[in-house]
Structure 1
Amino acid sequence: MIGLIQAETFVQSFGANTLEAFMINNKTLRLFMTVPINNFFAVGFGSQMVNTDMILTQSRGNLSTAYDLWSTRHGRPSTDEVQDIKYGFIWNETHTTFQIDRKIDTGDTAQDFVVIVVRFFITFIIYKGEPMSMIFSYHTSSATLTKHTNKGGFTMTLIPPIYNASNQENNDSNKSLGENFTIGNITSEIYGANYDEASFHRIHGWILWLSWGPLAFIQLTTTRYMKTFTYGIWIHMLAGLLNMIATLTLGILALQQSDYVIDDNPHSQIGVSIMVIVIAVNFTGVIMRMRIFRRFRIYWIHKVMGYSILIVAQIQLVLGVLMYSRNYLEFKSPLGFIHVGIFGMFLAGIEIYHQMRLRSKKIEMKMKSRLISLYQFNQLVAHGRQFVILDDKVIDVETFFDNHPGGRSLLKLNIGRDITKFFYGAYEFKNINNVDIKNCHSSLGYQLATQMTVGRLENNYNQEYLVQLIYSSQLLGKHTKTFVFQGQELRSGMQKYYSNIGMIGRHFTLCSSKQRTLKRQYYICNCLMPKIYEQYMQLIEKFLNNKSKLHLDNSIIQDGASNRIALTVKAISKRRGLSNMIFQRQLGDNFILNGPFGKGLELQYSGVHIAFTTGQGSLAYLDLVAHLIRKNLDLLDKEEAKQLSFSDFKFIMIVCVPNKKHALGYQLCKGLVQICKRQNRENFEYKLKKIQNANQFWNEEYIISEMDQFKEAEKIWVNGPNRMNQAFDIAFKQLAIQHQQYQQAFKYEIF
């Protein structure tokens, strides 16, 4: 006779809830589920919430209920169309214990799982089958079927009782709650399930769609396509602030829904990441507006994070719609993909239109046809127009003040000036935190400049000209050489000699044919061309040696088109740039030349003209020194001699260098001083100030005291390092309040 093998009872606690499960026979499973009052507790026969057969218990005292559920999604499950359970319960003030019987195989293959039972064979004493994967969920403060406060998975092993007919009555697998339990009411309507469980998530989704759809689109368009719109930056900032408020508020509320636990799904994890990044984007935006830290890097950090979060947010919107569909809909909504498609196509269309508009030859031709003379430019600026010069372009920046990444004050400071050296990154500014700001503008910056162009300066040459490096001189000063470039054909504007003194102080722009984005400006300084410089030095020597026949080779003073130009270049150690690249290039390498450009020195016929400069800045004035040498030696023709007064013109050149090696053209200037002394002329004065740091030497107080002796100056130029130039700018603003002539006379040229 085979003895009885008892059914094994599965027991496990889930917080304050307890589950007991065992087989009362080969066909029926009995569950005892003990649940605290005003809690719900549910178990599911499967490994996930989707398409899972579940049993729900709601502990409500004498109104307690149990349900056979079928979960088709991650949201609230619905009741099974056929309730395949029988249940009863007993309750007290603290707990309700449910007794629930369920068939192993209900026959409802559509909405019920077959419970896996381990089969036990006496003959071989082995088990056959695997433990069943189960899930659970419960709420610790509500019996209403709201979002659970805890969930998880577990495994359950069930062994049916095996017995023979002789001792069937001794089987205690039929244990129950007794005879005094309340028989449960079978109903298909779940208590407390009549609320709209998806309302928060719908509101959450639509508001964030507005934030990362239309509002993000406004942010992008104002900063990329509406840079010249007066209030564009303010709209961008307001949209960014609203976006951050919406993202953080709804993100925190979503975390609150899950008791501040980040769910194990991409949507929740990416959402938290977006909350962090949106704070960082707004923080870097504030730093940009306040001009603190290293502004140029902050700008790129802000830009990269902004574009990155925009892309990630679109992915997040798609994930959000898919998650909502999984939890609350019976199908996958395509709204997320529709949004991304429309958003992407709309942006692509605007970008294509934007690029076509900026590159339109019609706009370029219209701009080229509007020529503005230098006199007209100065008059328009004097009457309040916010004009600057870039290459040969006259640009109206009035609508761009608030959108300029470098700040409004930087543009205001340079109204009426040539900004070429700033634009191509050859010059640094110190910001309010004493940090160098150096920026080489992107192609978009150049396109925006073209868009704001209102005309082109007369007598400028903007056609590109391919030249080769054909000569490199010996060092003229520390890290300084003269390089000669030559093209194939003669080119207007490129000359070995300019009889018109209006060309003095103008510049060419040069870039490598291989790296066209790396561009710099170099002043015209023909007197340092090797053969011409040699002629001037011989001329000075002959004069000082009292030789009667003084002349220059006519070939070097021919005022005609040429295919050759000399540019004097200083390589700055430990810096990457075009100047260093030129030093490293081989003869025969190709470059692209443009120009000449700029306003020049705008010399007046008479009056005192003063230049405060450093060694490298002297290049802007050396052709004027060469002109005065020939003028004082009576080697100019009549027309050329009429450009400057013999008696009333004077040029004072104050050069600040550590030593004479840094003073470019020193021998030329020294020779002119000697000529003036011998000829009793007073049209040139040269002062060499030996200082180690021009930034520290020139400060506002010292400049104001120095200006007392130059109150009647007709023109004043400053070509030095950033701190020196800014110190002069501040000093002249203070002087302009007291003496109107300083504001009118001051011309601020920066090398």
Structure 2
Amino acid sequence: MYLYDHPGGKYVLEECRGKEIGKYFYGAYSLDDNIKVHKHSFVAGKIMKKIAIAKLKLPMDIDNMVTFGGEGKGDGRDHSHELYNGHFKVTRKDEIFKGVYRVTFSNENNHYKIVLPGTSTFGRHYLIHSESQKVSRYYTICNSMNSEIYPVYINNIDRLIGNSRDEKLSLDNVDDITESLQLTIKFYEQSRKGLTRLLANVQDEDEFLVSKPMGKGLDLSADSITGTNLVFLGGTGVLPFLDFFVFLARMIISEKSPSDKIINNEEFEPFFKHSSFKVYAYYPNANEAVALDLLVKISDLFSHFKEEERFSFTPVFTRQGGDRLNDQKIYEFLDQASRASDLKNIWVCGPPKMNNMFQRLRKTIERKYEGSAVDIM
């Protein structure tokens, strides 16, 4: 059994059971404070392929997200090997929040579908690789941060809650087939190497390889989310969830004001009406809060329709007097949620300190709140 042959020890494999491990395997994150970040070698990759028991087949609509040449319509075939061999250049970088950039990758031979109804891409990511520097990193798929899409949500929610008299905008009118892929990336000043540093100082001649959507994504089945779900975020940790949050906004608009639907033909599973999501987001200050305006508006939208029990957003600014997250506060939030209804998911995505806190408490939480599951993105 490879469990006992793993050079990093069996603890790592046991703790990662059932998880998406790409961010650990490629050296983007460590499992906890006591384990150093480790980028696995080519040999390790070959070993992993030998002991793999199955290959995950992605949903058809993910295959249709990316096409090659032609008219920009997916043919249902697996193009992952073609995409990974495609060369992309960074053609634009725009700072959208402090230290956070919208980075545009372009290749005139590849076409991307950026408006995709449904939930299959939520929580998944692209793997970006630099051949010249031999570095790779995962970056989250977050189509709602696209420069054409984000303003549509801001505008339409403002209209509905009475903050604007602008005309309704529709994603049906957005040209959703594009040769450019936009990713939202935080550039860390202290980073001296790695792909993020390379992207921060990208030159015109630098080329990158981009994989198709990877990872298991969010489990949004009826059995998984019917009940109360808590989401703990920090910094850019909102990105794996933002597409889902705007999906919930589209859903409540469809229910309460059908004439204002943002995607006209979109339909929603009825079990979402029996699921609630309470989001706690921790930021240093408001200037560094990614998508804060949109998240507040989504929360206001649910309040406007008197459905605040189904979605709420609580931002905490730790450098502006807000209390930092600790064990006691975590259990207070969990106790409060479990009294209201069955506690199902505790989703976590934040800086290492936040993730490690939940990693340390995970087994205790899942024992104490039977039926719940802690998932650290």
TM-score range, shorter chain: 0.7 to 0.9
State whether residues 115 and 171 of structure 2, in contact with CA within 8 Å, keep that contact through their aligned partners in structure 1: no
Distance 1:442 1:644, change over 3 A: farther
* CA drift at 1:654: 0.9
**Contact map agreement 2:171 2:262 (CA 8 A) in 1:** no
1:479 maps to a residue whose letter is: G
The match for 1:466 among 65, 68, 87 is 87
Change (3 A) 1:702 1:545: closer
Scaled by the length of structure 1, what TM-score is found? 0.42
1:690 aligned partner, one-letter code: F
Counterpart contact for 2:3–2:10, Cα < 8 Å? yes
Alignment partners' CA distance in 2, 1:557 and 1:400? 49
> Is residue 589 of structure 1 aligned with residue 211 of structure 2?
no
Q: What amino acid is the match of 2:275?
A: F
2:291 is matched with which residue? 665
Letter in structure 2 aligned against 1:626: V
| Consecutive unaligned residues in structure 2, runs of 5 or more | 63-77, 255-260
Partner of 2:181 in structure 1? 565
TM-superposed deviation, 1:534: 2.3
1:455 aligns with 2:54: yes
Relative to structure 1, is the Cα distance of residues 729 and 644 closer, same or farther in structure 2, using a 3 angstrom cutoff?
farther
CA contact (8 A) 1:701 1:731 kept: no
Structure 1 residue matching 2:183: 3-state secondary structure: strand
Residue pair 1:502, 1:603 contacting (<8 A) in 2 also: no
Equivalences, count: 338
The residue that corresponds to 2:282 in the other structure is 656
How far apart are 1:482 and its partner, in Å?
A: 0.8
- The residue type paired with residue 541 of structure 1 is D
CA deviation after TM superposition for structure 1 residue 656, in Å: 1.0
Q: Which residue of 2 aligns with 1:15?
A: none
Aligned equivalent of 1:485, options 99, 105, 122: 105
Q: Which amino acid aligns with 1:487?
A: N
- Contact 1:471/1:587 (<8 A) preserved: no
Aligned residue runs from structure 1 range 193-342, under 5 A: none
**Distance (whole Å) between structure 2 residues aligned to residue 610 and residue 400 of structure 1:** 35
Superposition pairs for residues 96-175 of structure 1, below 5 Å? none
In structure 1, what is the Cα distance between the partners aligned to 2:266 and 2:344? 21
Q: Which residue of 2 aligns with 1:360?
A: none
Matched, 1:689 2:310: no
Counterpart among 230, 245, 248 of residue 625 in structure 1:
245
Assess, with a 3 A threshold, how the Cα gap between structure 1 residues 478 and 541 changes in structure 2: closer, same or farther. same
| Deviation of 1:441 (Å) | 1.1
One of 1, 4, 17 as aligned partner of 1:415: 17
Letter in 2 for 1:554: D
Deviates more, 1:447-456 or 1:544-553: 544-553
Distance in 1 (CA, whole Å) between partners of 2:302 and 2:49 is: 47
1:608 counterpart = 2:207? no
Q: Which whole-Å CA distance do the structure 1 matches of 2:206 and 2:270 have between them?
A: 40
Per-residue deviation, residues 662-686 of structure 1 (Å, max 9, x unmatched): 2211011111122222222233211
**Deviation by residue 1:569-614 (Cα, 9 ceiling, x = unmatched):** 1112222111121111135632100020111111234433321110
SS at match of 1:501: coil
Among candidates 713, 735, 738, match of residue 365 of structure 2: 735
1:630–1:447 Cα change, 3 Å: same
Cα distance in structure 2, aligned partners of 1:644 and 1:556: 27
Whole-Å Cα distance in 1 between the matches of residues 268 and 31 of structure 2? Answer: 40
- Paired AA for residue 476 in structure 1: I
Match of 2:69 in 1: none
Assess if the C-alpha contact under 8 Å between 1:468 and 1:486 holds in 2: yes
**Which residue is equivalent to 1:707?**
334
Of structures 1 and 2, the larger Rg is shown by 1
Consecutive unaligned residues in structure 1, runs of 5 or more: 1-398
The Cα offsets for residues 326-364 of structure 1, whole Å up to 9 and x where unpaired, read as xxxxxxxxxxxxxxxxxxxxxxxxxxxxxxxxxxxxxxx
CA distance in 2, matches of 1:738, 1:557: 48
The answer for the alignment partner of 2:27 in structure 1 is 425
CA distance in 2, matches of 1:512, 1:613: 29
Taking the aligned partners of 1:653 and 1:738, their CA distance within structure 2 comes to 21
- Residue 658 of structure 1 deviates from its aligned partner by 1.1
Contact persistence 1:428–1:437 (CA under 8 A): yes
| 1:405 maps to 2:7 | yes
CA contact (8 A) 1:477 1:663 kept: yes
Residue 496 (structure 1) aligns with: 114
Return the letter of the residue paired with 1:408.
Answer: K
